Amino acid sequence: MRRDIERVLISQDRIALRVHELARQITDDHRSSPGGGAEVELTIVPVLTGAMIFCADLIRHIPIAMKIGLLAVTSYPGRSVASQGSRVIGEMTGDLRGRHVLLVDDILDSGGTVRLVKRMLKDSGAAAVRTCVLLRKDRPSAREVEVDYVGFEIPDEFVVGYGLDFNNYYRNLPDIVTLKAHVTQRTA
Ligand code: 5GP
Ligand code: MG
């Protein structure tokens, strides 16, 4: 696995620091928002599978009562390195009516996933929907989608690690990295 890495874009140490900062910001904003305060609960909705690791680290630094709802979305099936369009393939969010929801995704690329899921959550009757992405690619479509929290701005390159995959592999790499061209160009 390690020999497939081209370069480390964001090290695990930098990720850990930034995740901590994001969590503090989310906690502060939630407590100071209208209708917020320590007594208002959150529902955290990670978009599976990519946001699983980021979300697990993030929420352990958010000391607010919360439930977790799950959504599975596919957009880069198999060996794709470009979006094939977002589709919800699993939904276990629980009752979102009146809830303050924080949508957590790994990366903003075409923006299709966040747009789709945000609309779904709002239509489910959530009182508020905020959005947090770990990475945002440097491309116009990613900047056009409004999100509340962004961990890192990255170049428009295909990345894996820290939850992000290629063909469902590499999610367990602790750093965010690019892969050598021959790995992604290999035919099945
Ligand atoms: P969007 O819907 O914004 O085009 O893309 C969002 C989803 O596509 C992400 O949640 C992620 O699953 C996948 N994706 C987008 N860019 C990348 C990338 O560079 N690497 C990986 N592994 N997945 C990506
Ligand atoms: Mg995803």
C-alpha of residue 39 to centroid of ligand 2, in Å: 31
121-159: per-residue pLDDT in tens?
999 999 999 999 999 999 999 999 999 999 999 999 999
Verify whether ligand 1 is closer than 6 Å to residue 83 (CB atom). Answer: yes
- Report pLDDT for 186: 75
Buried b / exposed e over 161-175, threshold 16 CB at 10 Å, is bbbbbbbeebbebeb
Verify whether ligand 1 is closer than 6 Å to residue 131 (CB atom). Answer: no
The alpha carbon of residue 124 and the mean position of all alpha carbons in its chain are separated, in whole angstroms, by 20
Residues in the chain: 188
Verify whether ligand 1 is closer than 6 Å to residue 6 (CB atom). Answer: no
Asked whether the predicted pLDDT for residue 105 surpasses 80, the reply is yes
Q: pTM of the entire structure?
A: 0.94
Annotated catalytic residues are 109
